[in-house]
């Protein structure tokens, strides 16, 4: 505070300070220094700083316990259901179709995001936990979006001139869509490369951005 503004607060913009991905220690000490740059006129003549307010966003103990407990319970449950599902698929007299494989892949990504690795963040100072959480979420959401695109494509694709095409791109009436009988051609993931390719590219770009940010 200065003589003119004694007792008043500075109206400063909010700046991101820090983000902790693990709480390995019980107490944390923050050392905050305000650098003075005379040439750029940064923090020059601000007077004596007697008080500083920081805004912290954190999880309370009750939410953390419920969250950890749900992830600990759901992970083995989803894993058991996924193993049972794939065993039932393999018992059939036909090979698995593309949608059935995608459901299995979606279950694997869901199990991966629900693994309660946060238990280790209590006792270990792992600074990469935030990045690991972002990677798990990115894999799950990319898999979920790819599943919905292929799921819709299985019901919208028609045969035009011996080739698979999308009626929404051809301007065809959905009432005139013919059912596709060639399951062998439909079950190839390469048929959807134009739709899945942008998802993979966008996810890779977001991964590079997250790596640079973290």
Tens digit of pLDDT per residue, the chain (214 long)? 455 556 666 777 777 777 777 776 778 788 888 888 888 877 777 777 777 777 777 777 778 888 888 888 888 998 999 999 999 988 888 888 888 888 899 999 988 888 888 888 777 777 788 888 888 989 999 999 988 888 887 766 544 444 545 444 444 444 444 444 445 556 677 777 888 888 889 888 888 888 887 7
For residue 9, tell me if it sits in a domain. no
d(CA 106, CA 85): 12
For residue 29, tell me if it sits in a domain. no
For residue 157, tell me if it sits in a domain. yes
Q: What is the domain count for the chain?
A: 1
For residue 41, tell me if it sits in a domain. no
For residue 123, tell me if it sits in a domain. yes
Find the domain containing 128 and state its range: 61-213
d(CA 199, CA 95): 27
Q: What is the pLDDT of residue 185?
A: 57
For residue 197, tell me if it sits in a domain. yes
């Amino acid at each position: 505070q200065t003589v003119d503004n004694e007792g008043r607060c500075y109206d400063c913009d909010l700046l991101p300070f820090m983000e902790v991905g693990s709480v390995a220690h019980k107490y944390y000490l923050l050392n905050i220094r305000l650098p003075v740059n005379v040439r750029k006129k940064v923090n020059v003549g601000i007077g004596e700083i007697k008080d500083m307010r920081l805004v912290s966003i954190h999880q309370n103990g009750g939410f953390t316990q419920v969250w950890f407990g749900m992830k600990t319970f759901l992970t083995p449950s989803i894993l058991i259901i996924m193993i049972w599902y794939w065993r039932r698929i393999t018992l059939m007299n036909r090979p698995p179709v593309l949608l059935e494989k995608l459901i299995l892949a979606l279950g694997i990504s869901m199990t991966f995001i629900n693994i309660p690795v946060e238990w280790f963040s209590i006792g270990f100072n792992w600074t990469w936990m935030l990045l690991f959480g972002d990677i798990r979420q990115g894999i799950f959401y990319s898999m979920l979006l790819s599943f919905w695109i292929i799921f819709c494509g299985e019901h919208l694709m028609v045969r035009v001139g011996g080739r698979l095409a999308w009626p929404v791109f051809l301007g065809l009436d959905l009432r005139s869509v013919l059912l596709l009988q060639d399951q062998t051609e439909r079950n190839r993931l390469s048929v959807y490369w134009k739709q899945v390719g942008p998802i993979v590219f966008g996810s890779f770009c977001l991964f590079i951005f997250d790596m640079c940010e973290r």
